[in-house]
Copies of this chain bind each other. A is one copy, B any other.
Amino acid sequence: MKLSTRARYGTRALLDLARHGGEKPVQLKDIAGRQNISLHYLEHIIAPLVGAGIIRSTRGVRGGLRLTRQPKDVKLIEVIQLLEGTTTPVDCISNPETCDRADLCVTRDVWCVMKKAIDTALESVTLQDLVEKQKRKETSVKQSV
């Protein structure tokens, strides 16, 4: 039940983008630098997010990445589903036909409850929430120094 680095790096990259994005596009190499993630790897991770239209990219000089929505309109559940493929702990939830016990299986019901718990948790968090929380953490650190 581990989250892949794709999901973790991708979320951090999006958060970084939300944090540093403004008028001008943010370059992937800057995100990679700030987040200390391999640029080449991040390129792959970002791809499904661009594909899904959460991010818009512009190539060429002064190009980069931009969020297509307000951070408050990007729920974590969507991000994780794109990066992780799904939040389903077992295949038989989304594809009951892969297991002939599916209809009688009570453990399947438990995994289903589990998935719902995960989804509910991720449903309630937006990029905006993360940005704000991060700002608060940063200022509190500055003050304590």
Contacts and interface: CB of A to CB of B under 8 A. Distances in A.
Interface of A: 1-3, 7-8, 11-12, 15, 76, 84, 86-91, 104, 106-107, 109-111, 113-114, 116-118, 120-122, 125, 130, 133-134, 137-138, 141
Interface of A is mostly: helix
Contacts of A107: 8, 11-12, 15, 130
A141 B106 contact: no
A3 B110 CA distance: 12
How many copies altogether?
Answer: 2
Top 10 A-B residue pairs of the complex, sorted by shortest distance between their CB atoms: A117-B121, A117-B117, A3-B89, A106-B133, A106-B134, A106-B130, A114-B121, A11-B107, A113-B121, A3-B90
Contacts of A120: 117
A122 B118 CA distance: 12
Contacts of A137: 104, 106
A3 B117 CA distance: 15
Contact of A141 (B104, B109, B116, B138): B104
